[in-house]
Amino acid sequence: MPLEVPYGAEIPKDYSKGYTVTKDNSSVKVFPVDSRSVIGTVYSEDSIHYLNAWENTDVVLTASNEGIKEDIILKDKNSPHSFLFELQGNFKNDNVELEDLSILPAWLIDNKGQYRDVQQKITKKGNKRILELLVNTDNLEFPIRIDPTVSIYDSNSSLGRYYTWINSPSGSSGYWNPTTIDVFKKYDDFSNLVTGGGQLSFVLEQFPAAASKIQYAYLQMNYIALSGTQQVVDLQYQYDFSNFSVNSGQTTVYASNNAVNFDFTNAIKSWYSSFQPNVHSRIDLFLSTGTMGSDFHYSVWNPTLPKFIIGYNVYAPGTAAITAPQSGTTVDANYNITWNAAIDQDDPQSSLKYNIQLSTNGGATWSDIVPLTAAGASSYTYNFSSIGNTTNAIIRIRPFDGIDYGAWVQSPTFTIKHNMVPNAPTALNPGSTSSTTPQLMGTTTPALNWTFSDPDSGDTQGQYQVYIYNGTTLIRDSGWVSSSAASYTVPTGTLSRNGTYNWQVRTKDNKGAISAVSAKYYIKVNNLPTVSVTSYTNGQQVTDNVLTFTWTYSDADGQSQSHYQIQGSQDNWTTVAYNSGALSGNATSFTTPPLASGTWSFRITAKDGLEWSAAATRSLVLPNAYEPNDTTAQAYPINYAQNYTSLITTATDVDFYKYTATAAGIEKFKLTVPTGLNYDVYVYDASMNLIAAGIRGTGLAEEIIYNVNAGAAYYIKIVGVGGSYSATTSYGFSLTRQAAQYTTTYQYDFNGNITGKTVTITN
């Protein structure tokens, strides 16, 4: 029904008065609530565009013989999200239903082509019927077009959705004559139904009370082709209800609260070959009882009437859009396949189901992942664990509206690759694979090491778990430790001396796959060796400054002595005055060089190849046995970091000492002088060339620093000045190596030239 206005004409109109959809002598008026009075512009013979019918919202009306199509254009985020329409027309009863008005599913599309359903609600407010469109524009791009289509269906001329009731006779029970529901007449084109994917179905919605019954009934559909008034074909499709039985031998069509659906599509398709061109045809649908012409019996135990619904599906659904997997995706086990829902002009998106298939060979063959998903689904989780590895996998999806399938849509090629478990750890260390020959551990807190490997290139260790057993008893479980380090240090208190243990480890790769447990490796914690000193006694006053120590060595594990060491201190181990160093070998005796006089503490330790023993000790008092040392030939050997004391006993007494420098560098000799006396110190090289001297006055300590060469011999001479001496009061001295810092400061004139420099040595 075109609009009879010229192109380009501006039409003043109060849009709030709505528009009218008419059919025959009946009409339904639909008009928006709270819209504006606007100027409409005619763009074609059947289209008018109204600017800002709502705030920031345009409306386009397009008229056709079937009704008026309205497009609502949301221009920006300030557009409303709710649109109210009042419906006025011929309503069958108090329910909110229209006899001749069908509100199809509404949908929208944004500027990027994103589709989304629009919620529709019809409510009754007083005497008014209100249709509300609720729009969700989150994450959409404006402008957005809403398409709420209003159509007129003629039950005598087109296939649509049609409701009818059977009137009940008066009284509590009664009999009906054979009842014919003449649903479709004068329908001349069945091609959409046969070739376009349509469906014709019949639904019986029974009474809510379970006691309600329809007896002796069957459903029949006839195809009748007419030539003038002459019937030329009469094909029937029947459904007999007599197979339902109830008590007392009676039969019933249906006695449940659920609907029964009968699909006549195949029947019509099978008749299509019988349709004659240019011959007027019709389809009649009958509800009858028993055989044709028998009574229809309805027991009115509940006043609710049976309701029959005729449905017809015209359009197949559109295509979905797969969002995952995408190109480059790698799938292992559970994976969530996702898609954007398809659009169906007959059905809401929430009713569509989806068939999902998988190809592992680039589309050559396909198999179902799921025949049909749940209604309204937009994702499906599938476990690919049983599917072999491939780099040529494809997913395809098609929607199903309950009648027809939409077209397939395929994903890009993706990879199915199953993560392989890591190999059991190898190269465990320390340990032995034999329980009879465990590897000895020289500590109760060993570091346990292994090698990680994985069949999948690039996989790394993500976690590890270590088990430690005492025999078969688990004494330590590390639990899963998140670390790529292939090493675990046994905590203190786990292992004991002389204990034999075994340990295992397993790993997880960085994708969570768990390896098998490694083989068991056996370890034994070492017993410490024992040393007992057999020379001297504690507190003994010895007569010589050269000591010879002897000891016995024993080891419970049968290991030989590999090293030994003798140390001495003159200040209760605040410092070590003598240290032989760790000497290799199984000797059980050792002679010291001459040591300073005074009280000493000595300790002797031995090693079994793994660990050092506890120290065996002696406390000794050494004499002043440096004399005679009046010449270089008689010079007394001294060592670093010892405190020496001696006497200048006569006015002519001179004391010489000697040592060999262990390394090149700076050394310091410090001499403490008795009060009231004046002693000087001189340092000579091996050729008796003087290289340093300390010549301060009476009672003052001497402290000199000098350079030495590694391995060179040096002599120290201490002498009383001007006949100073004391036969009872000792002087003391020590020799130490120094770490010196040199700081050089340069002097410049006004022209920037160097005029001098100063070097400062800090010890």
The more confidently predicted of residues 106 and 292 is 106
pLDDT class of 572 with cuts at 50, 70, 90 = very high
pLDDT(166) > 80: no
Using DSSP's 3-state secondary structure scheme, residue 269 falls into helix
* Strands of the sheet with 199-205, listed across from one edge: 162-165, 307-313, 199-205, 260-263
Name which of 12-26, 53-67, 84-98, 724-738 the model is least confident about: 12-26
Q: What is the pLDDT of residue 214?
A: 39
Query: Is 200 part of any domain?
Result: yes
3-state SS, 470-489, equals ECCEEEEECCCEECCCCEEE
pLDDT class of 118 with cuts at 50, 70, 90 = confident
Contact 143, 114 (CB under 8 A): no
pLDDT(101) > 50: no
**Are both 167 and 111 inside the same structural domain?**
no
pLDDT(196) > 70: no
In Å, how far are 66, 276, 341, 541 from 545, measured between CA atoms?
A: 128, 138, 100, 11
The alpha carbon torsion through 251, 252, 253, 256 (nearest 10 deg) reads -150
* E strand or H helix at 192: helix 191-195
Question: Where a domain ends, among 622, 643, 677?
Answer: 622
Closest to 592 (Cα-Cα) out of 555, 533, 545, 631: 545
Task: Give the residue carrying structure tokens 């006779």.
Answer: 169
| Residue 548 burial (10 A CB sphere; 0-12, 13-18, 19+) | exposed
Query: Is 750 part of any domain?
Result: no
Contact 604, 551 (CB under 8 A): yes
Query: Is 4 part of any domain?
Result: no
Question: Where a domain ends, among 368, 386, 415?
Answer: 415
**Are both 300 and 172 inside the same structural domain?**
yes
Can you give the residue range of the structural domain that contains 143?
Answer: 10-152
Query: Is 756 part of any domain?
Result: no
The number of folded domains in the chain is 6
pLDDT(30) > 80: no
pLDDT class of 762 with cuts at 50, 70, 90 = low
Q: What is the pLDDT of residue 256?
A: 33
**Are both 583 and 445 inside the same structural domain?**
no
Query: Is 752 part of any domain?
Result: no
Amino acid letter, 567: Q
Query: Is 503 part of any domain?
Result: yes
**Are both 358 and 400 inside the same structural domain?**
yes
Q: What are phi and psi of 281, to 5 degrees?
A: -130, 160
CATH number assigned to the domain comprising residue 109: 2.60.220
Q: What is the pLDDT of residue 763?
A: 58
**Are both 453 and 399 inside the same structural domain?**
no
Query: Is 538 part of any domain?
Result: yes
Q: What is the pLDDT of residue 68?
A: 58
Q: What does the pLDDT look like over 171-183, one tens digit per residue?
A: 323 222 233 333 3
Q: What does the pLDDT look like over 600-620, one tens digit per residue?
A: 999 999 999 999 999 999 999
Report how far residue 691's alpha carbon sits from residue 689's, in angstroms, rounded to the nearest whole number. 6
Closest to 405 (Cα-Cα) out of 341, 324, 315, 340: 315
Q: What is the pLDDT of residue 99?
A: 39
**Are both 404 and 466 inside the same structural domain?**
no
pLDDT class of 164 with cuts at 50, 70, 90 = very low
**Are both 684 and 638 inside the same structural domain?**
yes
**Are both 301 and 166 inside the same structural domain?**
yes
The more confidently predicted of residues 509 and 223 is 509
CATH number assigned to the domain comprising residue 327: 2.60.40.10
Q: H-type helices in 243-334, by residue range?
A: 265-271
Q: What is the pLDDT of residue 266?
A: 59
Report how far residue 679's alpha carbon sits from residue 167's, in angstroms, rounded to the nearest whole number. 142
Q: What is the pLDDT of residue 32?
A: 53
Q: Which residues contact 318 (CB under 8 A, 6 or more apart)?
A: 342, 343, 344, 399, 406, 407
Q: Please give the mean pLDDT across all residues of the chain.
A: 75
Question: Where a domain ends, among 458, 493, 525?
Answer: 525
Q: What is the pLDDT of residue 89?
A: 57
Q: What is the pLDDT of residue 117?
A: 74
Task: Give the residue carrying structure tokens 């000087």.
Answer: 680
**Are both 177 and 117 inside the same structural domain?**
no
* E strand or H helix at 191: helix 191-195
Report how far residue 290's alpha carbon sits from residue 24's, in angstroms, rounded to the nearest whole number. 37
Query: Is 2 part of any domain?
Result: no
Q: What does the pLDDT look like over 689-708, one tens digit per residue?
A: 999 999 999 999 999 999 99
Task: Give the residue carrying structure tokens 């760790």.
Answer: 582
In Å, how far are 372, 409, 420 from 360, measured between CA atoms?
A: 20, 16, 19
Q: What are phi and psi of 354, to 5 degrees?
A: -135, 135
**Are both 733 and 646 inside the same structural domain?**
yes
Q: What does the pLDDT look like over 364-391, one tens digit per residue?
A: 999 999 999 999 999 999 999 999 999 9
Percent of the chain topping pLDDT 90: 49
Q: Record the tokens describing residue 292, joined without a space.
A: 């044709």
The more confidently predicted of residues 743 and 188 is 743
195 DSSP assignment? H
Q: What does the pLDDT look like over 621-650, one tens digit per residue?
A: 998 878 889 999 999 999 998 889 889 989
**Are both 681 and 716 inside the same structural domain?**
yes
Record the pTM.
Answer: 0.45
**Are both 431 and 396 inside the same structural domain?**
no
Contact 57, 146 (CB under 8 A): no
pLDDT class of 314 with cuts at 50, 70, 90 = low
Q: What does the pLDDT look like over 479-527, one tens digit per residue?
A: 999 999 999 999 999 999 999 999 999 999 998 999 999 999 999 999 9
